[in-house]
Amino acid sequence: MLYTSIVIWIDDLLVFADDIDDYVVKLEEFFDLVAAYGLNLSAKTSSIYQQSVKWCGRIINNDGDSHDPARVDVLRSMSYPETAGLLQQFLCAANG
C-alpha cells in the first residue's frame, strides 16, 4: 500500500487512487491498518475525498503537483541573501 496508494511525510499522510471505487477500497485498507496497529487519527486535521490538496507546500490534484502560489510569493518577496547563513536559510525555505 505504501507508495502505491499512500504517501507519508513525518506525521502527514495522503491516500490516493485513480477513481472513487478504488479510493474506497484503499481507505478501507488504510483504516484496517490504523485499527490493527492501534493508531489515533485527528478528525480535525483530516479530510477525505478531496480533488485537490495542499500538502507539504505543494498543490496536488489530477493534473499532477505544483508549487503552492502563496509559498512562491513569499520566496519571491525575500531579499537577496548577503551572507552564507542567509543563503542557507533561503535554500532551506525554497526546498522545504
All 3 cell numbers of residue 59? 498543490
Q: Does 93 fall in a domain?
A: no
Say if residue 67's pLDDT is above 90: no
Instruction: Tell me whether residue 64 is in a domain.
Output: no
Q: pLDDT tens, 9-23?
A: 888 899 999 899 999
Sorting pLDDT into bands at 50, 70 and 90, what band is 2?
low
Please state whether the predicted TM-score (pTM) of the whole model is above 0.85.
no
CB 40 within 8 A of CB 33: no
Give domain status of residue 36, yes or no. Answer: yes
Give the domain range for residue 5.
Answer: 1-49
- Give the CA distances from residue 72 to residues 30, 75, 79, 82, 86, in Å, rounded to whole numbers and listed in that order: 33, 5, 13, 20, 18
Q: Give, in order, the Cα–Cα distances in Å from 34 to each of 30, 39, 54, 57.
A: 6, 5, 23, 25
> Is 18 a domain residue?
yes
The domain tally of the chain equals: 1
pLDDT for 28-62, tens place per residue? Answer: 999 999 999 999 999 998 989 899 998 887 899 88
